[in-house]
Amino acid sequence: MEKHDLMEKIVSLCKRRGFVFQGSEIYGGLAGVYDYGHYGQELAHNIKELWWKHFVKSQENIFGISTSTLMPEVVWKASGHLSGFTDPLIECEKCHHRFRFDHLEDKNKCPDCGGKLGEEKKFNLMFPVSMGSSGDSIAYLRGEIAPGMFLNFRNVLDTMRPDLPFGIAQIGKAYRNEIAPRDFLFRVREFDLMEFEYFVREADWEKYFEMWRVEMWNWVKAVGIDAEKVHELEVGKEDRAHYSKRTIDFEFDYPFGKKELYGLAYRGDYDLKKHSTESGTDLSFFDEENKERFTPHVIEPSFGHGRTMLAVLVSAYKEEEKDGEIRSYLAFKPSVAPVKIAVFPLLKNKPQLVEKAREIYARLKKEFGAVEFDDNGNIGKRYRRQDEIGTPWCVTVDFETIEKDAGVTVRDRDTGEQKRMNIEELIAFIKSNI
């Protein structure tokens, strides 16, 4: 399958099956903004829930918070974002279209009209917001979620009283005024980030940097991203963020090229010291055992949620020829699949089958939640529909279920194999495979 074709098929499936819609579509759409439909929202939620379980709930020393998306101008001056959070912008002198300079193959000619390109400029990605009745108070929609965690460092110390090392984690919205949003969910203006700041003693940073590097690979596998499509890139000094002393990018082979998926950065003590100086608040740590006060250093694993969704979709999309037809399906990990089980009556026009199927559906719905009842169309069409939304197991109620109490037929999404199980066996099987 050609990479361009793959991307088109994924975008088409996402619209057709209710995963992703263009934002404000009935008014012509807003570039770089997307809405999630029912299945997209379920997938998005499952990824966030799995991430939270993996990096917060299963850890003894990482504390979750949720911080505001609006912050005053002084925060972004202190963090360096107002001066350093920029992309290279260039404008065509003829058609006045604007582009990211580093994304152009020909640095002299406009890709749209062939006109001459002007001089490269620095374009700040932050979204300013006028506040108050007079509108003269300036705040910003956050371009990163990290500052909220640094600003709450003292609050977490005072309420949770952790010892080093410890982390502060959150999942939340970020906003960037991208010059040229593109590639579906990859480069957008509004998106979710999943990340945590891990505070360590300076002497220990390399040990914990390596620990989280390994754990990020474990996450890649857990969420269902094809690990063979993921590559580490050691980022050179000239390309690192202004706060970073070492950064590894985890790049993924998207259909449109090898692009950044995740980042692992050693931020040193830059942020805590900067905000401590600018705010006048002591953001140091006191080591009771050694009676020593110092500013911790920070390891930051950062995960783009939308980029994760896209990588999961690319990794999960499969096609195979069966009985002369192409079957497409999403081979999601059961833990992130929007629907875990679909329940069918073999025939819609047989009340006894529908009634029994509804009874089994209610039992499974109560047990697992993410369960659908489907009696629309013939059984083949139902399988195809559930395959395309990535449902791992389809359960069919037939006459043997009623007449012989012979259980139900359980079909596996990936192999197409069918097995008969009674309901207790089915519940135990699902529990052991989610």
pLDDT value for 241: 78
Rg (CA), the chain: 25
Domain spanning 3-78+143-314, CATH architecture:
2-Layer Sandwich (3.30)
Integer angstrom CA distances of residue 253 from 229, 232, 250: 5, 12, 10
What's the token pair of residue 274? 């900067």
* Domain extents in the chain: 3-78+143-314, 339-433
For position 85, what pLDDT does the model report?
85
> Per-residue pLDDT for 243 more than 80?
no
Q: What's the DSSP call for residue 55? A: I
- Band of residue 229 on the pLDDT scale cut at 50, 70, 90: very high
| Residue 375: per-residue pLDDT | 93
Percent of the chain beyond pLDDT 90?
84
Please state, as a whole number, how many other Cβ atoms lie within 10 Å of the Cβ of residue 182.
Answer: 14
For residue 244, the model assigns a pLDDT of 84
Work out the average pLDDT over 170-195: 95
Give the whole-angstrom CA distance, residue 340 versus residue 138.
46
Please give the pLDDT value at position 406.
75
pLDDT digits (tens, 9 = 90+) for 59-111: 999 999 999 999 999 999 999 888 888 889 999 999 999 999 988 988 889 99
Residue 150: the pLDDT is 98
Instruction: Please list the residues that pair with 204 across neighbouring strands.
Output: none
Q: Can you tell me the mean pLDDT for 31-37?
A: 96
Split at pLDDT 50, 70, 90, the class of 1 is low
- Write the pLDDT tens digit of every residue in 37-65: 999 999 999 999 999 999 999 999 999 99
Please state, in angstroms and rounded to a whole number, the distance separating the CA atoms of residues 274 and 300: 17
* pLDDT tier for residue 255 given thresholds of 50, 70 and 90: very high
Please say whether the beta carbons of 271 and 243 come within 8 A.
Answer: yes
pLDDT exceeds 80 at position 252:
yes
Among the listed residues 184, 328, 329, 332, the one whose alpha carbon sits nearest the alpha carbon of residue 255: 184
Tokens of 185: 């969910």
Residue 6 has pLDDT above 80, yes or no: yes
The domain over range 339-433 is classified in CATH as 3.30.1330.30: no
146, 265 contact by CB (below 8 A): no
pLDDT 10s digits, 193-202: 999 999 999 9
pLDDT in tens, 132-179: 887 778 999 999 999 999 999 999 999 999 999 999 999 999 999 998
Chain mean pLDDT for the chain: 94
pLDDT at 403: 83
CA dihedral 274, 276, 280, 285 (to 10 degrees): -160
Percent residues over pLDDT 70 in the chain: 100
Q: What is the mean pLDDT of residues 357-367?
A: 95
Q: Is the separation of the CB atoms in 156 and 168 below 8 Å? A: yes
Asked whether the predicted pLDDT for residue 10 surpasses 80, the reply is yes
Residue 431 has pLDDT above 70, yes or no: yes
